[in-house]
Amino acid sequence: MSKVVLTPPALPVELTVNDTVHPLYTIFLRQITARSTDGGAHDLRLFFAQDLHVHESSHGVTALYHPQEDAVIHYRKDRYILAGGHGDGPGLDQYAVGTAETRASRGTWVDAEDGTLSRNPVAHGSVDSTIGLNARLGPVGSSTLHYWLCTGMSMDEVTALHRRVRASGPGELLDQADQVYRIWVNKSQIDFADLPPVVVDAFKRSLLVLRTQIDNRGAILGSCDSDIYSFNHDSYAYAWPRDGAFVSIGLDAAGYYGVTRRFFRFCERTITPEGYLFHKYHPDGTLGSTWHPWIDLGGAAQYPIQEDETALVLHALWNHYDRVRDIEFVISLYDPLVVPAAEFLVRYRDPGTGLPLPSYDLWEEQHGIFTFTVAAVHAGLLAASRIATLLGDTHRVARYREAAAEVKAAALAHLVEDGSGRFLKAVRFDVDGSLVPDRTVDASAYGVFAFGLLPPDDPRVHATMEVVEARLGVRAGIGGVARYELDRYQRNGDDPGLPGNPWPICTLWLAEWYIGLGDLPRALSLLEWVCSHATRAGLMPEQLDPRTGAPLSVAPLTWSHSTFVLAVTRYLDAFHGIRPCPTCGLSSFQGSHIRPWV
């Protein structure tokens, strides 16, 4: 439950605002505790404006005041949103419904500026609504007001939820939600070793943030932050299979298996008959927007995909089984998900080199054969072979292991730079069929050790991560690690001393490498850097302004929080010597498997 304290400079009042979404019901709840700050008594009027684009549209929406429910309802097709509340009285003190976002009308919020609403009961088209709640503030003490939104697919559904709020009391539902979330985030008895409180707090907050970005049907969203909409009239509210795989690995590492199971079911529903996953999806599983073309500049057809997204889902699924050991769940996904994806990874390779064929990189910008993708494909094939082993599918075990070995050999032959011994960002086929190296230093090469292609202490990994730290460290600014050299996304200016904006995930990848080497003090300093550059609310953004540290793009980025959770669990694994429980598979620092439920 969030807590925000508002102190309007021109008003003698302080407002403490608590917001939450109920874990069982589709209800948003807001509690406002108001008190006088000048020792006087005051009449308080609070107005709540609803400018809602229902079913992703501002057109063809109806908003109405429902007298029997004493609430305002917006609806379009099968999407309904009800706004209710109360101050000192039992329900709404004022309301107004009208048109908005047109040349003739800015919205009913203008009607609230004189303190009195018109009580217009209905409007259609591009609409909004405003409701008013009143309270009397005494010289001492406080008054409490409540506001809520109920969402559903019918009038009956939202009015039933509204009646539930009124019957139980919004305060009680707030307390219920707070209790559930506190138990949820502390369900594992974790020994946090030498981690400072700021890291522990960020770990728990990250778990809660991750849950807010996950649809109950399994879609794991990139971010619900709408600020990015101004960049290209689109958002991050899509399910990227790659992001979902990383979130699943992080949540599984922290012991939150029930959440991740639904993600794998989501992938089962969305995988194509050819065996690959598309760029991104809406939460309902329909295709999301994309900028990946189906044809290249030369006119040849191509898959509009990032192959690592398909491969990492298999990698994450094996990771899930390895911790949970729910064989029935994993084998239920074998035919519909594992086999199609693995067969695609086997098939989608260049016969001459053994490398995966070109696809888009994890940054969604370039086309080629990327070290990150190749390492992910190797991991995905090994995961498929291990899952096939569970079923005794010996033919596919051999097929997937052989393909994984060929991919690894190809990676070591073609993606390691002569002389430096470091991994390249990518290679691309020239017109004559030869491979052209891309020597751009890219932090995503961390995938070589993260996905098990080589161990962290391999000299080639050392050479790669050392150059990442040397050339992508933002030393002329606030610190942190950039994505790759001369990254221009959201970049402000062309300071040659800045390789790009620092990204928390790239900084955490460096921390993971130090953890793999056993250098925990260095890793801890990077974890603390990420904590120190979260927002005041503890949200980790996609990237940061390299000079001011201000968050850029979206905040929170789900991927940032999941990478933090994973880095912390790996730190604790290393600190405690990685002694997994032979019964449940949890690492030794997680004690919930030996604590009886009380």
Mean pLDDT for back-to-back runs of 10 residues, the chain (598 residues): 91 96 96 96 96 90 97 97 96 96 89 94 96 95 97 98 97 96 89 95 96 94 84 86 97 92 97 97 95 93 97 97 93 98 98 97 97 98 97 97 98 96 97 95 97 96 98 92 92 80 97 96 98 96 94 94 97 80 48 36
CATH number of the domain that 128 lies in?
Answer: 2.70.98.10
Residue 344 lies in a domain: yes
What is the C-alpha to C-alpha distance for residues 349 and 517, in angstroms, rounded to an integer?
A: 32
Q: What's the burial of 356, exposed, middle or buried (CB within 10 Å: 0-12/13-18/19+)?
A: buried
Read out DSSP for 531-550?
HHTS-TT----SEE-TTT--
Peptide bond preceding 556: is omega within 30 degrees of 0, i.e. cis? yes
Token pair recorded at residue 260: 């991740």
Long-range contact list for 324-330, CB < 8 A, 24+ apart? 324/252, 324/257, 324/585, 325/584, 325/585, 326/257, 327/390, 329/261, 330/387, 330/390
C-alpha dist (Å) from residue 557 to 84, 285, 479, 481, 484: 31, 20, 19, 16, 19
Say yes or no: 206 and 239 in one domain: no
Residue count of the chain: 598
Please tell me whether residues 455 and 477 are part of one structural domain: no
Does residue 382 belong to any structural domain of this protein? Answer: yes
> What is the structure's pLDDT at 578?
64
What's the CA gap between 349 and 211, in Å, rounded?
36
Nearest alpha-carbon partner for 244 in 290, 278, 199: 278
CB-based contact 448:514 (threshold 8 Å): no
d(CA 356, CA 373): 8
Same domain flag for 245 and 204: no
CATH number at residue 454: 1.50.10.10
> Same structural domain for residues 385 and 486?
no
556-587 burial by CB neighbour count: b if 16+ within 10 A, else e?
Answer: bbbbbbbbbbbbbbbbbbbbeeeeeeeeebbb
Could you tell me if 233 and 200 lie in one domain? Answer: no
Task: Tell whether 468 is covered by a domain.
Answer: no
Distance, CA of 345 to CA of 341 (rounded, Å)? 6
Label the pairing between strands 543-544 and 551-552: antiparallel
Q: 504 forms bridges with which residues in the sheet?
A: none
Nearest Cα neighbor of 425 from 358, 364, 506, 369 is 369
Residue 429's domain spans which residues?
Answer: 227-459
User: Do 153 and 295 fall within a single domain?
Assistant: no
Specify whether 240 is located in the same domain as 207: no
184 in a structural domain: no
Domain boundary among 401, 426, 459: 459
Q: In angstroms, how far is CA 328 from the centroid of its own chain?
A: 28
Counting beta carbons within 10 angstroms of the beta carbon of residue 552, is it exposed (0 to 12), middle (13 to 18) or buried (19 or more)?
Answer: buried
Residue with tokens 């009607």: 111
Please provide the distance, in angstroms rounded to a whole number, between the alpha carbons at the two ends of the chain.
24
pLDDT of residue 228: 78
> Helix, strand or coil for residue 496?
coil
Q: Is residue 248 within 8 Å of residue 263, measured between CB atoms? A: yes
Tell me the one-letter amino acid at 445.
A
As a whole number of angstroms, the distance between CA 165 and CA 20 comes to: 13
Same domain, 482 and 439: no
Q: Total domain count for the chain?
A: 3
Q: Is residue 217 part of a domain?
A: no
What is d(CA 32, CA 559) in angstroms, rounded to the nearest whole number?
32
Indicate whether 528 belongs to any domain. yes
CB 19 within 8 A of CB 1: yes
My answer on whether 406 and 515 are in the same domain is no
Q: Of the residues 435, 459, 483, which one is the last residue of a structural domain?
A: 459
> Looking at the structure, do residues 393 and 315 belong to the same domain, yes or no?
yes
User: For residue 86, is it within any domain?
Assistant: yes
Query: Could you tell me which residues are beta bridge partners of residue 158?
Result: none
CB 581 within 8 A of CB 188: no
Residues 38 and 61: beta-carbon distance below 8 Å: no
Residue 177 lies in a domain: no
| 264 lies in the same domain as 324 | yes
Query: Rounded to an integer, what distance in angstroms lies between the CA atom of residue 371 and that of residue 313?
Result: 17
Q: Report the run of H or E that residue 508 belongs to, with start and end.
A: helix 504-517
Lookup: tokens for 152: 């559903």
Among 519, 350, 373, which Cα is nearest to 442's? 373
pLDDT at 35: 96
Tell me which of 425, 459, 493 is where a domain ends: 459
User: Can you tell me the distance from the alpha carbon of 286 to that of 306, in angstroms, rounded to the nearest whole number?
Assistant: 17
Together in a domain, 28 and 105: yes
